[in-house]
Amino acid sequence: MNPGIDLVTADPQAVCMGSATQLEVLTSAYGPGTQTLHFFKDSVVPVPDNSFAGALSPLQVSGTNMSAGDIYSVTIDSLKSPYTSDLAIFLIAPDGSSVELSSNNGADGDNYVGTTLAMWAISPITIASPPFTGEFIPEGDLTALTGASDGTWKLKVADVVAGNLDTLFKWSMTFKTNAINTYHWWPASGLSDTAVADPLATPVSDTRYYVQVEDEWGCESVTDSVDITVKPLPTATLSLAENTICQGEEAEVSLNLTGTGPWLLHGLSILENGQSPVVFPDTLVPGPVFTFTDFPMNDAWYMITSYTDQGNACLSDTANWIMVDVLPLPVIQLGNDTTLCADHSLLLDAGNPGSVFLWSDSSTGPTLMADSAGYGYGTHTFWVNVDNGCVNRDTIHITFDPCTGFHETELQVKIFPNPNSGSLFIDIMPASAPVTFRIIDTRGATLYNGVLSAMNSPSSGLFQIDTRPINPGLYYLLLEYDGQKRILKFVRE
């Protein structure tokens, strides 16, 4: 009889792409063979004296898949009897057919110990002596047993002569059964092994795997199969509304997902230069697009480490990331808020060559001369917007003071030559000394100061200042005398 395939299974039968399922084929091989199966019964069974009914010891046999008459051997491991010639021993198959093993043998000898009865033995039990240890041919023909070998067997021991007490302790049966020698699975793609009963399968698409087996006699089974469904993994793609932004602007990040959903996101993270990583808690997303915003001050990376499509229970750990390039804002330094005399000017410089400028007075140059003209006394606000691709603003508050201690008509001053190349002469009327002076740059910073006196006056009322220590450019000269002030512009070549 050809071998049979009882069941082909896959656990699980539906897998996510890249995952494995355990295949297994359950088979049956029929008839005798080389695979040895032992069955034992170890229990104390008293044998009634002078009773043809005797004692019955049952033994359950399973998995042999053969006929009862194909039994390999039966062994009486331990049967205690003072007169073995009083005993009649029979083997009863599951269907009730029986065969005589040994009756009235051994004269007045004692016991059966390690007595194996088989048709392949050489010596008959009838000529053996107690305790019958060894292998012997039974009195009856084992091959005459009928029915299937699987079921409940019985060993019957009867003491047919009065006067003895006998006890059966242990007996066993041996079967040599057929076995499956060869397994053949196909297609081979995705299988860990095509020649075992239980290979692992990792298919990349829906696949039907076939299997056929062969027993040790070369007989083949019919072909059976099992279907495996492969579920797609979700995918996640990160994108940015803008790949480049300016500091302080919003970065809009979108995560586009494939699958049936909803999706559970794991390890969604923000990594910004100079900052500690930010990891979102696991987030359930109902739709295929998830959007969030961030306001990075430096270049930042957005990453997703894994995500589960809860519609098909498939998880993907294919990480996806994207970077936003954060441009710095232009640096503007108009300076600190300050106070100027009404006739004093301050050159405001926005820096950042090549940028687009817009000042508070709507001018568009890189600099603005701030003075009281057009503004009047008091505090005024000057601001500038600088656009170099990113826009920034700086503001300065300047207070213009009338400097009321100054009486211009009383202090008449001339300076020459203007421009000068290193020496600046000052003619003051009325001629008085000392007079303090300060040289101030266009940002309002004092470069150096001193006192005009006879020591640096070549003639009465005429003074000289050495301007060689300062760089070429526009400067302001502040003179103070007896509470009076005078401010003059000069150029150092």
Tell me the residue range of the domain where 196 lies: 4-30+179-231
Q: What is the number of structural domains in the chain?
A: 5
Mean pLDDT, range 456-461, rounded to an integer:
57
Residues 170 and 39 in one domain: yes
Residues 478 and 355 in one domain: no
The pLDDT, as a whole number, for residue 405 is 46
In a domain, 298, yes or no: yes
Residues 170 and 93 in one domain: yes
Distance, in Å, from the CA atom of 111 to the CA atom of 129, rounded to the nearest integer, reads: 10
In this structure, what token pair is assigned to residue 251? Answer: 């970065």
The pLDDT, as a whole number, for residue 407 is 40
Q: What is the mean pLDDT of the chain?
A: 90
The pLDDT, as a whole number, for residue 406 is 39
Residues 36 and 159 in one domain: yes
Query: Is the four-CA dihedral 370, 376, 381, 383 of positive or negative sign?
Result: negative
Q: How many C-beta atoms surround the C-beta of residue 42 within 10 A? A: 10
State the CATH number of the domain containing residue 308.
Answer: 2.60.40.730
Residues 166 and 302 in one domain: no
Q: Distance between alpha carbon 350 and the CA centroid of its chain, in Å?
A: 50
pTM strictly above 0.85: no
**Cβ contact 74:173 at 8 Å:** yes
Report the relative pairing of strands 151-159 and 87-92 from DSSP bridges: antiparallel
Residues 313 and 346 in one domain: no
Residues 203 and 290 in one domain: no
In a domain, 207, yes or no: yes
State the CATH number of the domain containing residue 163.
Answer: 2.60.120.260
Mean pLDDT, range 393-416, rounded to an integer:
72
State the CATH number of the domain containing residue 364.
Answer: 2.60.40.10
In a domain, 125, yes or no: yes
Going by pLDDT thresholds of 50, 70 and 90, the confidence category of residue 432 is: low
Going by pLDDT thresholds of 50, 70 and 90, the confidence category of residue 24 is: very high
Phi/psi for 143 (5° steps) reads -70, -10
Residues 46 and 159 in one domain: yes
| Residue of higher predicted confidence among 345 and 262 | 262
**Cβ contact 161:59 at 8 Å:** no
Distance, in Å, from the CA atom of 126 to the CA atom of 87, rounded to the nearest integer, reads: 13
In a domain, 210, yes or no: yes
pLDDT of residue 453 exceeding 80, the answer is no
In a domain, 384, yes or no: yes
Residues 125 and 205 in one domain: no
Instruction: Provide the Cα torsion 110, 115, 117, 120; round to 10°.
Output: -130
**Cβ contact 68:93 at 8 Å:** yes
Give pLDDT tens digits for 177-231. 989 999 999 999 999 999 999 999 999 999 999 999 999 999 999 999 999 999 9
Q: How many C-beta atoms surround the C-beta of residue 175 within 10 A? A: 23
Going by pLDDT thresholds of 50, 70 and 90, the confidence category of residue 411 is: low
Looking at the DSSP assignment, which residues form a beta bridge with residue 414? 427
Residues 222 and 197 in one domain: yes
What are the distances in angstroms from CA 382 to CA 288, 345, 346, 350, 397? 50, 13, 11, 11, 6
* Residue where a domain terminates, one of 305, 327, 349: 327
The mean-pLDDT minimum among 55-69, 161-175, 366-380 falls in: 366-380
The pLDDT, as a whole number, for residue 378 is 86
